[in-house]
Amino acid sequence: MSDTISVTVKVWRQNGPDSPGGFETHPQQISIDASFLEMLDLLNEQLNDRGEEPIVFESDCREGICGTCGVMINGRAHGPQKATATCQLHMREFADGDEIVIEPFRAAGFPVIRDLAVDRSPLDHIIESGGYISVGSGAAPDANLTPVPKDAAEQAFDAAACIGCGACVAACPNSAAQLFTSAKVGHMALLPQGQPERWSRTEAMVDVMETYFGSCTNHGECHEACPKEISLDFIAYLNRDYVRAKVKNRALSGQR
Amino acid sequence: MEPGTTPQPNPTVLDSKVPDGPIADLWENHKFSMNLVNPSNKRKFEVIVVGTGLAGASAAATLGELGYRVKAFTFHDSPRRAHSIAAQGGINAAKNYPNDGDSVHRLFYDTVKGGDYRSREANVHRLAEVSVNIIDQATAQGVPFARDYGGLLDNRSFGGAQVSRTFYARGQTGQQLLLGAYSALMRQVAAGTVELHNRSELLDVVLKDGRACGIVTRDLLSGEVTPHSAHAVVLATGGYGNVYFLSTNAMMCNVTAAWRAHRRGALFANPCYTQIHPTCIPASDDFQSKLTLMSESLRNDGRIWVPSGAGDGRAAGDIPEGERDYYLERKYPAFGNLVPRDVASRNAKTVVDAGHGVGPLNNGVFLDFAAAIERDGHDAIATRYGNLFDMYQRITGENPYTSPMRIYPASHYTMGGLWVDYHLMTNVPGLYAVGEANFSDHGANRLGASALMQGLADGYFVLPYTIGDDLAGLLGDSVVPTDDPVFTAAVAGVEDETGRWLSTNGSRSVDHFHRELGRIVWDNIGMARTESGLRKALSDIPALRDEFHRDVRVLGSADTLNQSLEKAGRVADFFDLAELMARDALEREESCGGHFREEHQTAEGEAQRDDDNFSHVAAWEWNGPDTPQTRHVEELTFDNVALSQRSYK
Ligand SMILES: Cc1cc2nc3c(=O)[nH]c(=O)nc-3n(C[C@H](O)[C@H](O)[C@H](O)COP(=O)(O)OP(=O)(O)OC[C@H]3O[C@@H](n4cnc5c(N)ncnc54)[C@H](O)[C@@H]3O)c2cc1C
Ligand code: SF4
Ligand code: FES
């Protein structure tokens, strides 16, 4: 237990959105039982002791569920371990002597705030444009009034598991947010409760997505990076629904 | 009261404003008797909601739907990130879908009993009543609760309950409920009824003529300090479990919003009621940043044991059956490994303190699945707990299928919080507290799967009614303008404070002091408390606080994202809170729920309440820095649930 490794951390420092950035190099001795973020905590402690400003990085739950953390580690969003958010990564995934390059999520839609922190608020704007089922508090019927086939509920859950971390965007060569958007659209389109607004929701969310993010060309890097392994099938589902939504919404507008 | 503890200027008996009448009809009748704000007048009222976890998001969304003009604040980058997202196990509701004898009354009864008779009956009954609406609401929003093969909602029994009333969404119930509340909130943001302020931290609550009239926030990106006014202010800012430094709470959870309100006059109730969860992964080293909860459900199949001999360094597999102490099964034959959280936690501490701890730091007990795997097979256990086993292995590098897990208790939830009346209003008019931030419904111990229920009950179904009763009386009053001296003074105070941290120029980081504080709190105000330990805490905390204020090093500037600066203010508030926790624990000369005073235990070592002297809520009033706080009380009466001694033998 508690073996220690020596690594060289090359970390991106940038004072603000418009400041130039660059790498800083720090040798680190670290126990393999430490989490990756604890390694950064320790580094920050050392920087602070030396009178240098700590590295800004974000995290909250540190158990892979809130979606707050997320950096590029050796060029990969959330690092080397599959289905693992940055906060769940442990130093035993690295070897003695490794160089670890840490950068912020890089995407046109995610401007750098400082060091490793980026602004992912466009993901909220996509939700705001329609990622909900319109039911006011108190207006809901009894929960068991509408049975939902177990399979449908499970599939909806597979999509709803998205933590909104944005790794899919960072991993995509086009900075597309298709996986994130398809997860939300898929979650609701698979449930009976989501049907009434299905077509308006799909069109609105895709349209807002396109104002912030690039276009999907089916690279599949998003799925590889996704800590929740959201399936690429949801993107296919989204694309199909979007086309149908376009047709339906046009037909509906003719009836207004 | 004991000599030498607390001078108590003008303690008062608090009025909870619970209406009269039979408990089953109270809320229904009260809804009719409250004043209403008519629909076209609602838009004349501005309401500030701070916090967008389950309680805050549900409150802000509902108030927006009703037509109030809402401003919602969170220090997260998105409302979807609140700590609520991490809740795993489930949410209780008295739906009685399994037809196994549950009812509103039973949920009410279980909650009062589980809280060791230290909660307010009327609030708990209301909670049980509206619990059923929460499940309807969440399902309609698209929350993918677990279902059976007929497509109907599935339930399980949780935390030792005798009925199956817990609804769940895989191991991610909090996430799915929060995404539901968040989507409802974003719908109102789109509709223009809610103005959302992300990355904004409340640093002061502002009062005018004794009434809450707004808040002061700091923009965490630009550092700008801004006043905001409203007709009412709602705090939904979560619990203070991170006062222990190590806890299962998210890193950013803190007491600052509640504490700043406290400093402005809101009473802080029962700070010593904290819940220590028995099944968490033990700390692995000094650099540990937080602890991870392993679901309580593991105790259904895992057997808890330690080596019988103290200081036994052998690996689990090398310890023969005869040299193992299954201490819960031995002491509590009826409940065994399923005793309530507080009992399981305390017993783990006892064996570890006696030198039986396991693991490299001797700081855990075994949770062993060997018998279950032999009985049910590897695959059955993998189906039940696969995700949890993977999570454990990812963190520890050990395989729980082949060697037992190591677990140890950790700070998890705080029952104490801002004192509120039946309307969820603090003693400061116009200032409300909902969710974990208030002290309300769980008494001295919270039952599993009841926090999500309470947060959403408060936000969707209670506050939206009660707030109208108060606002109706303010029709025609405009908000206090933000250039009023009360606001400018508060803004100046906040700016002064940030300036002070940056100019202290000490030598140690904020985290260093937080960690040291956490040690004191854990050792003395943790699972078992003694008079001498509490007195030690009362001298150690102020000493460390002085050092903190003298020697903390916060680098950088105030006009940019500066995480050390954010933390400095939060840790400062934790120091003051910790001191109050010790005072509260010292003065509560009894054991109840999560508050265990070693001096007060039964012959069998169980918590011994003193109902004659302590059947009350202690609510503390701030009297200024370095001045002892005043202890007020709210008497608790139990007309519907008979008081009894818990026993799990
Ligand atoms: C690991 C874990 C598992 C749990 N599992 C369960 C479970 O299975 N069932 C159950 O019922 N309960 C569970 N709980 C407890 C439950 O999750 C919490 O009690 C509950 O979610 C708290 O909700 P809340 O809305 O009151 O606060 P939070 O979710 O903590 O939200 C607080 C909000 O306030 C904001 N905030 C705080 N301070 C400020 C400030 N100064 N300025 C601006 N914004 C601020 C934050 O940004 C956030 O939006 C669990 C807790 C933990 C730690
Ligand atoms: S789809 Fe995956 S990678 Fe993208 S935001 Fe969701 S969880 Fe993160
Ligand atoms: S910090 Fe929450 S997902 Fe990593």
Centre of ligand 3 to C-alpha B95, Å, is 33
What sign does the dihedral A100-A105-A108-A110 (CA atoms) show?
negative
Residue entry with tokens 């503890």: B5
Q: Measured between beta carbons, which residues in chain A are less than 8 angstroms from residue B150? A: 147
Cα–Cα distance measured from residue B535 to residue B618, given in angstroms and rounded to the nearest whole number: 19
Q: Report the DSSP beta bridge partners of residue B367.
A: B304, B405
- A117 in contact with chain B, both atoms CB, cutoff 8 A: yes
Q: How does pLDDT run across B389-443, given as a tens digit for each residue? A: 999 999 999 999 999 999 999 999 999 999 999 999 999 999 999 999 999 899 9
Strands B69-73 and B46-50: parallel
Give the pLDDT confidence score for residue B3 in this predicted structure.
39
- B631 in contact with chain A, both atoms CB, cutoff 8 A: no
Q: How does pLDDT run across B444-457, given as a tens digit for each residue? A: 999 999 999 999 99
> Is the confidence at residue A255, as pLDDT, over 80?
no
CATH number, residue A11 = 3.10.20.30
The pair of three-digit structure tokens given for residue A173, joined into one six-digit string: 């060569």
The pair of three-digit structure tokens given for residue B151, joined into one six-digit string: 């497509």
Region B126-144: mean pLDDT is: 98
Region B540-545: mean pLDDT is: 98
Q: Are residues A84 and A146 in the same domain?
A: no
Q: Measured between beta carbons, which residues in chain B are less than 8 angstroms from residue A139? A: 140
- Nearest ligand to the CA atom of A126: 2
The predicted complex's ipTM stands at 0.97
Confidence of residue A1 (pLDDT cuts 50, 70, 90): very low
Q: Report the DSSP beta bridge partners of residue B642.
A: none
Boundary of a domain, candidates A114, A137, A154: A114
| DSSP 8-state assignment for residue B221 | T
Closest alpha carbon within chain B to A143 = B136
Boundary of a domain, candidates A114, A141, A157: A114
Query: Which of A59, A67, A61, A53 is CA-nearest to residue A11?
Result: A53
Q: Measured between beta carbons, which residues in chain A are less than 8 angstroms from residue B250? A: 60-62, 66
CATH number, residue A171 = 1.10.1060.10
* Contact (CB<8Å) A135/B140: yes
Can you point out the beta strands (E) in B355-475? 365-368, 405-414, 417-418, 431-433
Q: Are residues A124 and A219 in the same domain?
A: yes
* Contact (CB<8Å) A137/B509: no
Q: Are residues A58 and A141 in the same domain?
A: no
Q: Which helix (H) or strand (E) holds B260?
A: helix B256-263
- B362 in contact with chain A, both atoms CB, cutoff 8 A: no
Region B530-542: mean pLDDT is: 98
Cα–Cα distance measured from residue A74 to residue A100, given in angstroms and rounded to the nearest whole number: 6
Closest alpha carbon within chain B to A125 = B186
* Contact (CB<8Å) A2/B61: no
Query: Which of B150, B518, B137 is CA-nearest to residue A138?
Result: B137
Q: Which helix (H) or strand (E) holds B381?
A: helix B378-396
Mutate to test the pocket of ligand 1, among B75, B297, B570 (most ligand atoms within 8 A of CB): B75
Confidence of residue B555 (pLDDT cuts 50, 70, 90): very high
Q: How far is B539 from chain A, CA to nearest CA, in Å? A: 27
Alpha helices (H) in B290-340, listed in sequence order: 327-331
Q: Are residues A214 and A130 in the same domain?
A: yes
| Radius of gyration of chain A measured on its C-alpha atoms | 21
User: Which residue is closest in CA terms to ligand 2's atom 6?
Assistant: A162
What three-state secondary structure class fits B135? helix
> Is the confidence at residue A127, as pLDDT, over 70?
yes
What atom in ligand 3 is closest to the CA of residue A64?
3
Q: How many residues does chain B have?
A: 649
Confidence of residue B36 (pLDDT cuts 50, 70, 90): very high
* Contact (CB<8Å) A113/B561: yes
Q: Report the DSSP beta bridge partners of residue A73.
A: A76, A102
Of B190, B250, B285, which has the smallest distance from its Cβ to A2's Cβ?
B285
B209-213, B296-300, B409-413: lowest mean pLDDT where?
Answer: B296-300
Query: Which of B187, B186, B288, B208 is CA-nearest to residue B245?
Result: B288
Query: Which of A164, A64, A85 is CA-nearest to residue B172?
Result: A64
* Contact (CB<8Å) B81/A127: no
A93 touches A80 (CB < 8 A): yes
Q: Are residues A213 and A234 in the same domain?
A: yes
Cα–Cα distance measured from residue B291 to residue B320, given in angstroms and rounded to the nearest whole number: 30
Confidence of residue B269 (pLDDT cuts 50, 70, 90): very high
Query: Which of B257, B307, B298 is CA-nearest to residue B277?
Result: B298
Cα–Cα distance measured from residue B142 to residue A152, given in angstroms and rounded to the nearest whole number: 12
| DSSP 8-state assignment for residue A229 | -
Q: Are residues A110 and A21 in the same domain?
A: yes
Q: Are residues A76 and A30 in the same domain?
A: yes
User: What one-letter code names the amino acid at A8?
Assistant: T
The pair of three-digit structure tokens given for residue A186, joined into one six-digit string: 């898929």
| DSSP 8-state assignment for residue B100 | S
Q: Are residues A37 and A100 in the same domain?
A: yes
Q: Are residues A43 and A130 in the same domain?
A: no
- Chain B interface, mutation test: which of A132, A148, A228, most B Cβ atoms within 10 Å? A132
Cα–Cα distance measured from residue A194 to residue A191, given in angstroms and rounded to the nearest whole number: 5
Query: Which of B527, B498, B533 is CA-nearest to residue B408?
Result: B527
User: Which residue is closest in CA terms to ligand 2's atom 7?
Assistant: A162
The pair of three-digit structure tokens given for residue B521, joined into one six-digit string: 């709190």
| DSSP 8-state assignment for residue B117 | S
Cα–Cα distance measured from residue B124 to residue B117, given in angstroms and rounded to the nearest whole number: 11
% of chain B with per-residue pLDDT over 70 = 99
Cα–Cα distance measured from residue B75 to residue B595, given in angstroms and rounded to the nearest whole number: 31
Q: Are residues A94 and A41 in the same domain?
A: yes
Q: How far is A46 from chain B, CA to nearest CA, in Å? A: 9
Q: Measured between beta carbons, which residues in chain A are less than 8 angstroms from residue B92? A: none
- The response to whether residue A163 sits with its C-beta less than 6 Å from ligand 2 reads yes
- Chain B interface, mutation test: which of A39, A82, A135, most B Cβ atoms within 10 Å? A135
Give the pLDDT confidence score for residue B5 in this predicted structure.
45
Region B339-350: mean pLDDT is: 90
> Is the confidence at residue B4, as pLDDT, over 50?
no
What atom in ligand 2 is closest to the CA of residue A78?
3
> Is the confidence at residue B2, as pLDDT, over 50?
no
What sign does the dihedral B250-B438-B157-B140 (CA atoms) show?
negative
CATH numbers and ranges of domains, chain B:
277-412 (3.90.700.10), 485-618 (1.20.58.100)
The pair of three-digit structure tokens given for residue B541, joined into one six-digit string: 């905390």
| Average per-residue pLDDT for chain A | 96
- The response to whether residue A21 sits with its C-beta less than 6 Å from ligand 2 reads no
Give the pLDDT confidence score for residue B287 in this predicted structure.
85
| Structural domain boundaries, residue A126 | 120-253
Give the pLDDT confidence score for residue A2 in this predicted structure.
63
- A133 in contact with chain B, both atoms CB, cutoff 8 A: yes
Q: Which of residues 235-254 of A touch B (CB under 8 A)?
A: none
Q: Are residues A241 and A165 in the same domain?
A: yes
Domain count, chain A: 2
Q: Are residues A138 and A108 in the same domain?
A: no
Q: Which helix (H) or strand (E) holds A24?
A: strand A21-31
- Nearest ligand to the CA atom of A229: 2
Give the pLDDT confidence score for residue B646 in this predicted structure.
75
Q: How does pLDDT run across B575-630, given as a tens digit for each residue? A: 999 999 999 999 999 999 999 999 999 988 889 999 999 999 999 999 999 899 99
B525 touches B575 (CB < 8 A): no
Residue entry with tokens 């020697």: B551
The angle, 0 to 180 degrees and rounded to 10, between the axes of the packed helices B173-191 and B54-66 is 30
The pair of three-digit structure tokens given for residue B149, joined into one six-digit string: 């093969």
Give the pLDDT confidence score for residue B113 in this predicted structure.
92
Cα–Cα distance measured from residue B470 to residue B31, given in angstroms and rounded to the nearest whole number: 13
**The CA-based dihedral angle spanning residues B600, B606, B612, B616, taken in that order and rounded to the nearest 10 degrees:** 90
- The response to whether residue A65 sits with its C-beta less than 6 Å from ligand 3 reads yes
Boundary of a domain, candidates A114, A145, A177: A114
